[in-house]
Amino acid sequence: MNYRPLLPQIHHVAYNSEEAIEAITQNTACMILETVQSEAGVIKPEMEWIQAIRKKCTETGTLLILDEIQVGFGRTGTLWGFEQFGIVPDVLLLGKALGGGMPMGAFIASKELMQTLSFNPILGHMTTFGGHPVCCAAGMAAFEALLEEEMHHAVPQKAALFLEHLKHPAILDISHHGLMMAVKLESFEKVVSTIKHLLVLGVFTDWFLFASDCIRIVPPLNISEESIIAACDKIKQALDQIASND
């Protein structure tokens, strides 16, 4: 008897597109999305679109899986990014800030969904370092600090302060959601040159994997207003230096 396993078919569809909604059928196992696309240059979902995705997934029995590894834990101004779009995912993926500096990741789902991993096969899900006590302690401490100090409550005001002070002729656009910003320049070369100048000025930043013409701004949630203004001033100083060399 020849046995050939059934391989899943993976389809990539454009964010905020009608194609993504139409692609969901009763044969679709799951739809995996970032609540806010980060590496593409901070792209927010349109409210009607992501709600239509949720509705279509519910109608077809498709799991909606949201990746909040970058946008979770207050980055967008609420604990979870999806809260701002009036939806709830079937599965939530977390990481990065989850561990409070320690390596840790998680996926969250209902008890009913999680129990499907307990049979066929019995060990349907396992991980060597799952529940590591030191990582869990660090993650709990960081989460408690976030809640007790309510760091995420000040995110909208701090984001507005960045936008107020980040104005320069070389800045073509700023895509943002909370304290996650993509500052668009003329080219990748300009971005690299700016990053090098900023390192000399004592500011560390980076670009995005799929938006190489943008400078990444993702500061700690507890950044002070003084530090925000100082960082913006140094970014503008770096851009001035580059312009004077052209």
CB 72 within 8 A of CB 83: no
Q: What is the CATH number of the domain that holds 238?
A: 3.90.1150.10
Mean pLDDT of the chain: 93
State pLDDT tens for residues 126-141.
777 778 899 999 999 9
On whether both 132 and 74 belong to a single domain, the answer is yes
> Is residue 6 very low, low, confident or very high in pLDDT (cuts 50, 70, 90)?
low
The answer, yes or no, to whether residue 1 has pLDDT greater than 70, is no
What pLDDT score does 3 carry? 45
57 and 27 assigned to the same domain:
yes
Residue 184 DSSP symbol: E
Q: Look at 200 and 6; give whichever has higher pLDDT.
A: 200
pLDDT of residue 199: 96
Q: Would you say residue 2 lies in a domain?
A: no
25 lies in the same domain as 138: yes
Residue 197 lies in a domain: yes
Q: What is the mean pLDDT of residues 31-54?
A: 97
Please report the pLDDT score of residue 155 as a whole number: 98
Report the CATH number that the domain containing residue 55 is assigned in CATH.
3.40.640.10
Helix, strand or coil, per DSSP, at residue 96: helix
Q: Quick one: 30 and 63 in the same domain?
A: yes
Structural domain of 139: 18-149
pLDDT in tens, 76-106: 999 999 999 999 999 999 999 999 999 999 9
Are residues 113 and 156 located together in one domain of the fold? no
Give the residue carrying structure tokens 């989850």: 98
Is 108 inside a domain boundary? yes
Cβ-proximal residues to 221 (8 Å cutoff; 6+ apart), any chain: 74, 75, 146, 151, 152, 154, 155, 179
Of 83, 114, 149, which one is at a domain's C-terminal end?
149
Position 197 scores a pLDDT of: 97
Are 122 and 178 in the same domain?
no
The domain boundary residue, chosen from 114, 129, 149:
149
> Residues 6 or more apart from 33 whose CB is under 8 A from it?
15, 45, 50, 53, 64, 65, 66, 67
Per-residue pLDDT for 201 more than 70? yes
Q: Residue 129: what pLDDT?
A: 73
| Per-residue pLDDT, 9 | 76
When divided into structural domains, the chain yields a total of 2
Instruction: Please tell me whether residues 23 and 141 are part of one structural domain.
Output: yes
Predicted pLDDT of residue 169: 97
The last residue of one of the domains, among 101, 121, 149, is: 149
Whether residue 56 is found in the same domain as residue 104: yes
Does residue 11 lie within any of the structural domains?
no
Q: Clarify whether residues 184 and 206 are in a common domain.
A: yes
Pair 169, 198 in one domain: yes
Same structural domain, 164 and 116: no
Question: Residues of the chain with pLDDT > 70: what percent?
Answer: 96
Whether 2 has a pLDDT exceeding 70, the answer reads no
pLDDT cut 90: percent of the chain above it:
85
